[in-house]
Structure 1
Amino acid sequence: MSNNNSILKIGDWIKAQSRDGELIIGYVESFDLLEEMTKVTVTTSDHQELVGKTIPIMNNMVKILPNSNVRNKEQILNLIDLALATGDEDWFLELSAKLNAMRELVRSVKSH
C-alpha cells in the first residue's frame, strides 16, 4: 500500500491521530485496501487505554515513521526494551544480533 510516498508494510512503525485527535504510535499488523483501513498495534498513545490494543485506523491518517539508524549501544538497548514491550520477537532478535556484533567489534579492537 502506498502512503506518504512510501510503501506501507506489515511491521512498519507508524504514527497517526485518532478521531479525537489523540496521538497514536504503533506498528502495522495488517491493512485492507478495499476498506482503506490499517490495523495498528498501539505502543504509545495520549489515550492510555489504547496501549497494547490493535485498532483500525483510516489509511489516510497513517504516517510511516522513518527507520532509525542505530548508532550506539544505548539506542540499541532502548529499542530492545521497546521490542520486548511490544512482543516483537523478530525485531528483538535482529537488535540483539546488532548488539552482539557491536560487542564483538569492541572485543576485537581491544585485543589488538
Structure 2
Amino acid sequence: MKKSYCPIDTFINVVKGKRKATIILHLFQGDKRYSELAKLLTDISERMLSKQLKELEADGLITRTVFPEVPPRVEYSLSDLGTEIHPVLKSMFKGGILFEKSIDEVDG
C-alpha cells in the first residue's frame, strides 16, 4: 500500500482491481474458501482471483488462514481494516445502483 497525493486516491488505488471490492463485500458476509469465492466470481479467471487475493492480503484487508489438514484447507476472512472499510464499499454499491438506474432511464 502506497500513499497518494490525496487519501481518496490512496483508497481507490488499494481497492481498484478486478473484483477486489466485490471480494471484500462477499467476505463481509463470512469467511470463504477459495473455491467458494471462485463460484461467486465467475467472470474472472482463477489466476486473476489468486492475484487479487494476494494483493488484498498484502494490503492488510484480508487474512488467509491455512489449516493443517490433509488436504490443506485455506480460508479467507476480512481483517479489522477490511471490516472498517465495508461501509464505504456499501455506499459505493448503492451509488452504483443509482448510476445503473439513470443509465437504464437514458437507454430505456
- The TM-score range, normalised by the shorter chain, is 0.3 to 0.5
Name the one with the larger helix percent: 2
Q: If the length of structure 1 is used for normalisation, what is the TM-score? A: 0.31
Of structures 1 and 2, the larger Rg is shown by 1
